[in-house]
Amino acid sequence: MNNAKNFKSMAIWAILITIVLIPFFIFEESVNNRINVLISENGGSTFALAAILFAVLASDIFLPVPSCLLSAMCGAFLGPVLGFIVSFAAMSVSGVIGFFIGSTASSLARRLISDNEKSLKSNAKSGPFMLFILRPVPVLAECSCVYAGLRRYNFAKCVVWLSVGNAVISAVYAVIGHFGRANDSFVPAFAAVVVLSGIGFLFGKTSNGKIKTES
């Protein structure tokens, strides 16, 4: 039974990753070129740049865009404070959209993950933690939000862990982008989230007895 459930979970992860990657291979260059044109055409307006970067990052769940570099660009073009706010808000909106895409998916998609409603809800308390763990990982960050919706994880807890992860990543990206090292933003952001996720794991273990990160 467990092997069957694990296989179904792996299958849905593989499907989600494929769905996210296909647009990257087909449309990444054209989308990125269009984004660069929009940014260059509106470089003199902070409001316009903020609106463009927010809109693109918030659409990350659909568009083949490098969210890490765009978040760093928020810091580079808008400064560390406004850049953080725009990046954090946009990434949070994208994550919530992904959750609702998953939660409104067909019953067939849900059956691919688990055999019954009871099993679907069994990890609802612990599963949201994976959103924090996977926040800095390209592709998996988007997939985890859709997966959380498919598994019907607790929405409030998903928002909490999503927000904490986004806050850390956005802060690191905005600061690094502001100092002109956008291409180097992934490693420190990933390291920061790994450290905080470890702290969160230990805190949850001491307060609740244990934390499961089963996905």
pLDDT single digits (tens) 18-43: 877 777 777 667 667 777 777 777 76
Domain-embedded: residue 178:
yes
Domain-embedded: residue 214:
no
Domain-embedded: residue 167:
yes
Amino acid at 26: I
Domain-embedded: residue 213:
no
Terminus-to-terminus CA distance in the chain, angstroms? 16
Domain-embedded: residue 107:
yes
Domain-embedded: residue 215:
no
The answer to whether residue 154 scores a pLDDT higher than 70 is yes
pLDDT single digits (tens) 175-210: 888 887 555 556 666 666 667 666 666 665 555 544
Rounded Cα gap, residues 134 and 158, in angstroms = 12
49-55, long-range: CB within 8 Å, 24+ apart, which pairs?
49/77, 49/78, 50/74, 50/78, 50/82, 50/86, 53/77, 53/78, 53/86, 53/87, 53/90, 54/86, 54/89, 54/90, 55/90
Domain-embedded: residue 98:
yes
**Domain extent at residue 101:** 2-208
Domain-embedded: residue 166:
yes
Higher pLDDT pick, 125 / 94: 94
Instruction: Report the domain count for the chain.
Output: 1
